[in-house]
Amino acid sequence: MRFVRLSNMAAGVAALALLSACAPTRQTASTAAPKAPPACVAATPGDALVGNWLSVTAQKGVAGALRTLYTLKPDGTMMYVEQVKRPRSPSQGLEESGCWSREGKTLVLRTLQSNGVPVNLEDPIYTNRVQVLRADASQLLLQGGQGTIRAKRMSPGYRLPF
């Protein structure tokens, strides 16, 4: 009987030792506070870029159409929704939000959230710069690293259909 008690006690001690080996040995305190997202700066009144812009393209190697809706608001905030629409398949998409600004003839899109999740503000992938070739009442023409982007102005409440 004594052997059984000692065996149970030894098993309990071994289990505690195993569990304590998995536990963290100390708290790791983060010395750097999370960086606050930048504030968006309002666009110049009457800026031709303000509005909803829809681009529909076919990319080499991608089955279906790539639809992109840029929503550039007067307060400097933006939304960027990209959706791949394939025949007989549900749409797949990406939704990013953040700030936009103009630096001369360059449109700067700064993503702060991707699909509702805050992004790493230090990662350069979340800042996109494209040249504005033309912006008028009905058409937006941009030049970026992926080529020319042609977009047409949509109504203020327009959303991409799924």
* Domain layout of the chain by residue ranges: 51-154
Q: Please say whether the dihedral angle defined by the alpha carbons of residues 14, 19, 22 and 25, taken in this order, is positive or negative.
A: negative
Cβ-proximal residues to 2 (8 Å cutoff; 6+ apart), any chain? none
For the entire predicted model, the pTM comes to: 0.74
Q: Mean of the pLDDT values across residues 19-46? A: 66
Helix H segments across 109-154? none
Q: Which fold has domain 51-154?
A: Lipocalin (2.40.128)
Q: Taking residues 72-90, report their average pLDDT.
A: 90
Residue 9 contacts residue 16 (beta carbons within 8 Å) = no
List pLDDT tens digits, range 96-115: 999 999 999 999 999 999 99
Give, for 116, the enclosing helix (H) or strand (E). Answer: none
pLDDT at 17 over 70: no
Rounded distance, CA 141 to CA 8, Å?
Answer: 76
